Amino acid sequence: MERSMLLSFSCLLLLALAKPTDQVVHGSRSLNSFLEKNIFVLAGQSNMSGRGGVVNQTWDKIVPPECQPNPSILRLNSRLRWEQAREPLHFDIDVTQTCGIGPGMSFANTIRHLNSSIGIVGLVPCAVGGYHGTKISEWAKGTLLYKQLIKRTKSSVKKGGKIRAILWFQGESDTVALEDAEMYSKKLKALIMNLRADLQLPMLPFIQVALASGQGHFLGTVRKSQLDLNLPNVRCVDAFGVPLSTDYVHLTTQAEVRVGKMLAEAFYSFNSA
Ligand SMILES: *[C@@H]1O[C@H](CO)[C@@H](O)[C@H](O)[C@H]1NC(C)=O
Ligand SMILES: *[C@@H]1O[C@H](CO)[C@@H](O)[C@H](O)[C@H]1NC(C)=O
Ligand SMILES: *[C@@H]1O[C@H](CO)[C@@H](O)[C@H](O)[C@H]1NC(C)=O
């Protein structure tokens, strides 16, 4: 009797030891109980959701070291639950296309690398490229994408954490028609101000990526709007010159890794960071 009890006790002990601590500490339940997080919202179109490593609608599943998962990097999934983040970060958000590597994981790993005491990073993927890309008018206040972003972002802080910044990589679809390109500056400013007002964070850092090339002829106009945007607490990193993939439309995995690093460096240029 005593012997068998001892035996089962040792079995339990072995089981407990065999279980990786990360799973114990970061199980779904504990991830969704109160936990201080540094929350970053990711929005925009396909290059933000990520197509790195995708050829003919198939992802090659290659995850570079900069994009590896880490128990301290979480994502808010489409069911508004926190889970450990892994590539492809937007697979259940940008659902009509095959997602691959985007800048998000590289950003999160670099954020932690640059400040090892920052703690938990919580990513809120919201970007949608879809089939035709998304224009900035599709992100205006009142639209479905805008409402989803606000809903996901508000939900992300319910179990602890602070929204640290919004990351924005969009505009390619606004390079096709002259009137869209000419309106870009005004619409981007309105978007930033509306998001800050609706989230009640008037100085929330906003980091955008200036396009490397566009789907249409009016790239210069959109780029100029992005680079010249004059609002407090807005930064712009420039993707010009990063390698494009063989479809000539999307960023490669290596380019996405670089954009993620640039976004992280830009974040630390804010006084509040
Ligand atoms: C992708 O599909 C096209 C058309 O079906 C084909 O010609 C091409 O070889 C494919 N590329 C790869 C890398 O599989
Ligand atoms: C690193 O993160 C900690 C915790 O958020 C913060 O107190 C500290 O100021 C940060 N350091 C730098 C250099 O940003
Ligand atoms: C992705 O980014 C590249 C580089 O900025 C750009 O040329 C391309 O148009 C973008 N693609 C889409 C679909 O947004």
Q: What is the CATH number of the domain that holds 185?
A: 3.40.50.1110
CA–CA distance, 273 with 269 (Å, rounded to integer): 7
For residue 169, the cross-strand partners are 44
The answer to whether position 8 is within a domain reads: no
8-state DSSP, 76? E
Residues 6+ apart with CB under 8 A from 194: 140, 141, 146
CB 137 within 8 A of CB 180: yes
Residues 6+ apart with CB under 8 A from 30: none
The answer to whether position 5 is within a domain reads: no
Q: Is 228 a catalytic residue?
A: no
The answer to whether position 153 is within a domain reads: yes
The answer to whether position 7 is within a domain reads: no
Identity of residue 222: V
pLDDT of residue 272: 66
Structure token pair of residue 178: 């002259």
Task: Chunk the chain into consecutive blocks of 10 residues (it has 273) and report each block's average pLDDT, rounded to whole numbers.
Answer: 50 45 59 96 96 93 98 98 98 97 98 97 96 94 98 98 98 95 98 98 97 84 96 94 71 94 96 67
Q: How many domains does the chain have?
A: 1
pLDDT of residue 22: 41
CB 121 within 8 A of CB 111: yes
Q: Is the CB–ligand 1 distance for residue 56 below 6 Å?
A: yes
Q: Is 46 a catalytic residue?
A: yes
CA–CA distance, 55 with 57 (Å, rounded to integer): 5
For residue 168, the cross-strand partners are 43, 208
pLDDT of residue 4: 54
Catalytic residue, chosen from 22, 60, 92, 247, is: 247
pLDDT of residue 271: 74
Phi first, then psi, for residue 5 (nearest 5°) are -65, -40
pLDDT of residue 15: 46
Distance of CA 89 from the midpoint of ligand 3 (Å): 18
Structure token pair of residue 78: 């489409």
pLDDT of residue 20: 43
pLDDT of residue 21: 42
- Residue-number span of the structural domain to which 153 is assigned: 23-272
Q: Which atom of ligand 1 is nearest to the CA of 58?
A: 14
Nearest CA to ligand 3 atom 14: 172
Return the closest-CA partner of residue 212 out of 246, 182, 169: 169
Q: Is the CB–ligand 1 distance for residue 55 below 6 Å?
A: yes
Could you tell me where the beta strands, DSSP code E, fall in 30-72?
38-44, 54-55, 58-59
Q: Is the CB–ligand 3 distance for residue 249 below 6 Å?
A: yes
The answer to whether position 217 is within a domain reads: yes
pLDDT of residue 216: 84
Which residue do the tokens 């990351």 mark? 167
The answer to whether position 17 is within a domain reads: no
CB 44 within 8 A of CB 90: no
Q: Is the CB–ligand 2 distance for residue 118 below 6 Å?
A: yes
**What ligand is nearest to the CA atom of residue 246?**
1
Q: Which helix (H) or strand (E) holds 84?
A: strand 82-84
**What ligand is nearest to the CA atom of residue 55?**
1
The answer to whether position 4 is within a domain reads: no
The answer to whether position 3 is within a domain reads: no
pLDDT of residue 85: 98
Burial class (CB in 10 A: 0-12, 13-18, 19+), 69: middle
Catalytic residue, chosen from 26, 46, 173, 225, is: 46
Nearest CA to ligand 2 atom 2: 118
pLDDT of residue 3: 53
Structure token pair of residue 15: 């089981």
pLDDT of residue 247: 66
Largest Cα separation within the chain, whole Å, is 84
8-state DSSP, 52? B
